[in-house]
Amino acid sequence: MILVFAAVAVWIGAWAFNGWLANGRFSGLASVRLAVPLIFGATVIVVWEMIVRGLAVPAEILPPPSTIVGAFFGNFGILWPDFVQTFAKGALGGYVIGCGAALLTAILVDRYDFLRRGLLPVGNFMAALPIVGTAPILVMWFGFDWQSKAAVVVVMVFFPMLVNTVAGLRDTSAMQRDLMRTYGASYWQTLFKLRFPAALPFIFNGLKIATTLALIGAIVAEFFGSPTRGLGFRISTSVGTLALDVVWAVIVVAALTGTAFYGAVAWLERRMTFWHPSQRK
Amino acid sequence: MNQPVISASHLDLTFQTNDGPVHALRDVSLDIGKGEFVSFIGPSGCGKTTFLRCIAGLEAPTGGTLTVNGLSPDAARRSRAYGYVFQAAGLYPWRTIGGNIRLPLEIMGFSREEQAERVKRTLELVDLAGFEKKFPWQLSGGMQQRASIARALAFDADILLMDEPFGALDEIVRDRLNEELLKLWDRTGKTIGFVTHSIPEAVYLSTKIVVMSPRPGRITDVIESTLPRERPLDIRDSAEFIAIAHRVRDGLRAGHIDD
Amino acid sequence: MKALGPILAVVAAIIALWYAAAVPMNIQEVLTQAERAGAVVEPEGAMNRRDVSRFALVLKNADHLAESWSMERARLPAPHQVVKELWASTWDEEINGRRGIVKSGSLSNRSLIYHGSITLGATIVGFLIGSGLGILLAVGIVHSKTMDMSVMPWAIVSQTIPIVALAPMIIVVLYSIGVEGLLPKAVISAYLSFFPVVVGMVKGLRSPDAMQTDLLRTYGASKPQALWKLRLPASVPYLFASLKIGIAASLVGAIVGELPVQRGGLGARMLGGSYYGQTEQLWAALLFAAAMAAILVWQIVWIEGKTLRRMGVTP
């Protein structure tokens, strides 16, 4: 019980400290802007540990963070192949194929106005559907291994990527297009010199959204059937045996993967669209 | 003059809208000779920009004839007969200034060495030497517009078409750019078509001033300027300048009386 | 109307492609069944056919092609088969079925309407909770610098984390403490719609420019007044954009939530269809879920249109 009171005290103390940091003279510093959310996150973890131990919550309901860390390092041998299966093969493979196909389709759609007027509404519609539902069908067609997961990812990332790229290719002003006409430029010259670079901010918006969708698709697809490997598989089997510490460890892996993947694409975006007002604070 | 560079004869441009036909241009006839500096001035809707765009092959007239260098405007466009300067600089933010000037040269197939030489030469012409590696957003509005002019000069077209290029700039910068443009014209001998809202600008820059009025878009007066070729900025206070400006103003008012 | 032409053309092309694809997809099983029924197929014997490419089989057995479109438990059921199953498990089951609503007074547990309503219930409850809390947190973030600097970075980061991976655990844990049925699924749905709404709403509440907020300060407006009169109205477009994402996410959450403990719902139906090889059932459930998603998003769009019109923003 003491732990619970201590947890409350820690929470109040940390919140007050953060309050002082956020509202005080130092709030503009980059180091403070980084410290405040980290302190908040650390407080959540510390309070979690204290309350779970203080109230003696059974491990099958909610394990304390220390146990999770132990499970993470303890099961590293299984978690690494799981990660490779789900992310490196399933999510990444599908991501590359899906985004690549969407880019090529977007160029086709841009070229032929009829396709744009027909395909884009259909694409918008498909982007809103619960595509994860196609997972069992794709497992039936492509088998249990990573190919079916990649297929699910392809279907999930294709439409948002298509919609974003087409929007980007069209985001040039009439003046810019007129300038190209005064140079007597061909369609392909205009595409590569003007519209494609101008579309990059939109394309990266799509690529960032696609990173999240890829990981979700790969993991959820594994809930529907998978060989004895994979993050989704590990979650569903560990849930079945109530080994919740392993489940949380897998979630940590998934979270780290998700943020790292997104961060990598965001880093590439900053490098390639340095010229866009949104990047030039 | 011998063969005019740009020749319009009874040009018509009518387009249909929900509220009936709009006569953007009606019975416009004009000849522009080589080396002339022609300004088009008039209120909104008088057709001056439309006329410029017809010359550029960006709009198609619905009647009459128009030739540029003896060719149809579309053929002239495809033979890269002119450089066009818009009201906004429209430089690509993802290219350096040098890269932006290279844009038409890349499209038109100039060699790498030619591109480098032309970029250097045109930047000097517009007094932006040394800014080749900068990005557009690092330059002021006036400098960006100068870069846009350099871009239009890079491929040595004989004709320069400018649509209110200095309209978005403040007066001090504008004066300076007017002076520079005149020097540039003198040095290169190009034929220039220039659309503007400003009477002093039109009178200061041109050898010929075309006054237009709206509804329907037509020419109300063509004034051959008697000012000498050498024009310091303070020629704007001379009696001759004021007289021409007066005539332009009368032409503009005459167009409005029909309202 | 002019816009409809290309759309219909594309949809027609998709359906045509679907029919065409069903032929090579189903050819293996079609030929096996035909052979069992006594027909002569080329090459004979299922073992010999295993290594032959599908397209080769199609070319060699052209007279059996039409059977690809009427096979039971096909690898790729034809569109009309799916439509038939949809009809059978919705209208037909409820009106004519033994356990349907007409004959027994309650929804049949074989009908998609029943399963759909289970999923829909969890989706909507979760969506309302998630968006409601999301809006509240967004208001808190905009007004408290502490909350802004502590929580907002995590809200943004959470969008890169596959939260849906938590779904099985939440279901099983709540189940083990006796909470089952709609609530655990609603929790997942709420969680999935929560963060998009927070991020979108914060963007919206912060969207008025400095000129507007300065004007209110010259009137001596208090923070709640500024919230009510300026920030909330300005945030409406952003809110609706996130609500559209949120409701689609809530539906996915509810479906995934039905997988671990299968007590009905479209997700359970899809899983069941895949376990027992009932492909028409699977496809019908998927299309039903897709239709539900479309209707839910369209509802939000409709509400958005009415709200914006009320606010004087011409669409």
Question: Cβ–Cβ of C251/A137 closer than 8 Å?
Answer: no
Please tell me the least confidently modeled range out of A83-92, C24-33, C142-151: C24-33
Q: Give the per-residue pLDDT at B257.
A: 62
CA distance A24 to A18: 10
| Residue A163, pLDDT above cutoff 60 | yes
Which uninterrupted H or E stretch holds C16? Answer: helix C4-36
Q: Give the per-residue pLDDT at C315.
A: 54
Q: Extract the tokens encoding B9.
A: 């004869």
Question: Cβ–Cβ of A184/B92 closer than 8 Å?
Answer: no
**Using the 8-state DSSP alphabet, how is residue A58 labeled?**
-
| Closest A-chain CA to B109 | A185
Which uninterrupted H or E stretch holds C14? Answer: helix C4-36
Q: Extract the tokens encoding C174.
A: 């709540």
Where residue C60 falls among pLDDT bands split at 50, 70, 90?
confident
One-letter amino acid at A103 equals L
Q: How many CB pairs under 8 A join A and B?
A: 50
Question: What percentage of residues in chain C have a pLDDT greater than 70?
Answer: 98
More confident residue, B76 or C34: B76
**Nearest CB neighbour to A37, from listed C149, C161, C283:** C149
Where residue C314 falls among pLDDT bands split at 50, 70, 90?
low
The torsion region of residue A230 among left (phi > 0), alpha (psi -120 to 50) and beta comes to left
Of A182, A191, A202, which to mutate for an interface test with B (greatest number of B Cβ within 10 Å)? A182
Where residue B100 falls among pLDDT bands split at 50, 70, 90?
very high
Rounded mean pLDDT of A48-72?
86
Whole-number Cα distances in Å, B39 to B175, B195, B196, C222: 16, 6, 7, 56
Question: What percentage of residues in chain C have a pLDDT greater than 90?
Answer: 17
Taking the alpha carbons at both ends of chain C, their separation in whole angstroms is 19
Q: Extract the tokens encoding B165.
A: 């290029």
**Nearest CB neighbour to C168, from listed A21, A128, A236:** A236
Longest dimension (CA), chain C: 91
**Strands lying side by side in the sheet with B20-32:** B20-32, B6-17, B63-68
Q: Give the per-residue pLDDT at B49.
A: 92
| Residue C14, pLDDT above cutoff 70 | yes
Pick the CATH number of A73-279 from 3.30.420.40, 1.10.3720.10, 3.90.79.10, 1.10.10.10: 1.10.3720.10
Q: Extract the tokens encoding A274.
A: 């340095």
Q: How far is CA B249 from the centre of its chain?
A: 20
Q: Is A265 on the interface with B (CB under 8 A)?
A: no
| Closest C-chain CA to A224 | C271
Q: Report CA dihedral (C286, C287, C289, C292) to the nearest 10 degrees.
A: 180
Which residues in chain A are contacts of B57 at CB distance < 8 A? 181-182
Where residue B258 falls among pLDDT bands split at 50, 70, 90?
low
Q: Give the per-residue pLDDT at A281.
A: 56
Burial of residue C17 (number of CB atoms within 10 Å: 0-12, 13-18, 19+): exposed
CA distance C128 to C257: 17
Rounded mean pLDDT of A129-133?
81
Question: Cβ–Cβ of A128/C294 closer than 8 Å?
Answer: yes
Q: How many CB pairs under 8 A join A and C?
A: 166
Touching subunits for chain C (3+ Cβ pairs under 8 A): A
CA distance A242 to C21: 43
CA-CA-CA-CA torsion sign (C188, C189, C194, C195) = positive
Of C149, C152, C203, C281, which to mutate for an interface test with A (greatest number of A Cβ within 10 Å)? C149
Tokens 């794709």 correspond to what residue? A138
Residue C98, number of CB atoms within 10 A of its CB? 9
Q: Helix or strand or coil: residue B218?
A: strand
Q: Give the per-residue pLDDT at C138.
A: 94
Question: Cβ–Cβ of A133/C251 closer than 8 Å?
Answer: no
Which residues in chain B are contacts of A182 at CB distance < 8 A? 56-58, 77, 82-84
Q: How far is CA B125 from the centre of its chain?
A: 17
CA distance A232 to A254: 9
Rounded mean pLDDT of A162-178?
88
| Fold of domain C112-310 | MetI-like fold (1.10.3720)
| Residue C18, pLDDT above cutoff 70 | yes
The torsion region of residue A184 among left (phi > 0), alpha (psi -120 to 50) and beta comes to left
**Nearest CB neighbour to C160, from listed A62, A225, A262:** A262
Question: Cβ–Cβ of A136/C260 closer than 8 Å?
Answer: no
B-contacting residues in A 154-213 (Cβ below 8 Å) = 173, 175-176, 178-185, 189, 193-194, 197-198, 200
The answer, yes or no, to whether C and B have at least 3 beta-carbon pairs within 8 Å is no
| Closest C-chain CA to A120 | C7
Longest dimension (CA), chain B: 57
HSE, side-chain direction, 13 A CA sphere, residue A238: 28
Question: Cβ–Cβ of A182/B83 closer than 8 Å?
Answer: yes
CA distance C271 to C119: 14
Which residues in chain A are contacts of B90 at CB distance < 8 A? 173, 175-176, 179
One-letter amino acid at B87 equals Q
Question: What are the residue ranges spanned by the domains of chain C?
Answer: 4-76, 112-310
Q: Helix or strand or coil: residue B144?
A: helix
The 10s digit of each residue's pLDDT in B150-167 is: 999 999 889 999 999 998
The 10s digit of each residue's pLDDT in C148-174 is: 988 988 888 888 888 888 888 888 888
| Residue A173, pLDDT above cutoff 80 | yes
Which uninterrupted H or E stretch holds B159? Answer: strand B159-163
The 10s digit of each residue's pLDDT in C85-144 is: 888 888 877 777 777 777 777 777 778 888 899 999 999 999 999 999 999 999 999 998
**Whether the Cβ atoms of residue B24 and residue B58 lie closer than 8 Å to each other:** no
Question: Cβ–Cβ of A189/B107 closer than 8 Å?
Answer: yes
- pTM for this prediction: 0.81
Touching subunits for chain A (3+ Cβ pairs under 8 A): B, C
Rounded mean pLDDT of A245-258?
89
**Phi, psi at C159, each rounded to 5°:** -70, -20
The 10s digit of each residue's pLDDT in B1-54 is: 467 899 999 999 998 888 888 889 999 999 999 999 999 999 888 889 999 999
CA-CA-CA-CA torsion sign (B44, B47, B52, B54) = positive
| Residue A235, pLDDT above cutoff 80 | yes
CA-CA-CA-CA torsion sign (B169, B173, B177, B179) = positive
Which residues in chain B are contacts of A187 at CB distance < 8 A? none
**Phi, psi at B189, each rounded to 5°:** 65, 30
- Distance from the A87 Cα atom to the nearest Cα atom in chain C, whole angstroms: 12
Residue A186, number of CB atoms within 10 A of its CB? 11
Question: What percentage of residues in chain B have a pLDDT greater than 70?
Answer: 98
Q: Give the per-residue pLDDT at B259.
A: 52
Quickly list H helices, chain A.
2-23, 30-54, 65-74, 76-83, 92-111, 113-127, 135-142, 146-169, 174-182, 187-190, 196-223, 231-240, 244-272
Rounded mean pLDDT of A128-135?
81
Q: Helix or strand or coil: residue B10?
A: strand
CA-CA-CA-CA torsion sign (A236, A238, A243, A249) = negative
Question: Cβ–Cβ of A219/C286 closer than 8 Å?
Answer: no
Cβ-proximal residues to A229 (8 Å cutoff; 6+ apart), any chain: A81, A82, A85
Where residue A189 falls among pLDDT bands split at 50, 70, 90?
very high
CA distance C188 to C135: 17
Which residues in chain A are contacts of C14 at CB distance < 8 A? 122
Domain B6-81+159-257 sits in which CATH superfamily?
A: P-loop containing nucleotide triphosphate hydrolases (3.40.50.300)
**Whether the Cβ atoms of residue B112 and residue A214 lie closer than 8 Å to each other:** no
Q: Is B58 on the interface with A (CB under 8 A)?
A: yes
Q: Extract the tokens encoding C71.
A: 């096979």
Q: Give the per-residue pLDDT at B151.
A: 93
Whole-number Cα distances in Å, C14 to A118, A169, C161: 11, 24, 34
- Beta-strand relationship, B20-32 and B6-17: antiparallel
